[in-house]
Amino acid sequence: VREHKENLRTDFRYTPKNVEVGIVLDGLLRHQSNEANNAKLFMKDLSAVANAAVYVGSDLELRSSFTYTMRRGYNFTSANLNESIWNASIRYKFLKEKTASIKLECFDLLKQQKSISYVSSASGNSETRVNCINRYVLLTFSYRFNVFN
């Protein structure tokens, strides 16, 4: 089996006052050939990630990220899939010098994350399924100790 891989990545960030915006484009291109069974594959794993954060005053932070993943060129249909993942959070800082914060995070709001991984090559395929909680909410309390003043 012969394989040739190319990783492609570009990252864009824009950070004006009180806002952060970012876009990441990522790709993995793989060419595989197996001379024994004359099989050839050209697999493409492409993803786009959009991130945004808004800071309201010095105590409120809103964040959101959206990831779109597309897989193509695999030799079994279930591996050629699209996946859209949207995560969001809100964080409030309080107490003297903003040493405490409470944060509410929501993961996979669209409920589209698949707990399946695929490995495909010109000589065979593998599919692994994992049971996990993909869509959930997390509430966090944090306190920052100022030991070194």
Q: How far apart are CA 70 and CA 49, in angstroms?
A: 12
- Using pLDDT thresholds of 50, 70 and 90, give the confidence band for residue 14: very high
In the DSSP assignment, the letter for residue 98 is: G
pLDDT score for 38: 80
* Nearest alpha carbon to residue 7 among 24, 26, 23: 26
Q: What does the pLDDT look like over 30-87, one tens digit per residue? A: 888 877 778 788 889 999 999 999 999 989 999 999 999 999 988 777 788 899 999 9
How many angstroms separate the most distant Cα atoms in the chain? 70
Q: How far apart are CA 134 and CA 129, in angstroms?
A: 13
pLDDT score for 145: 87
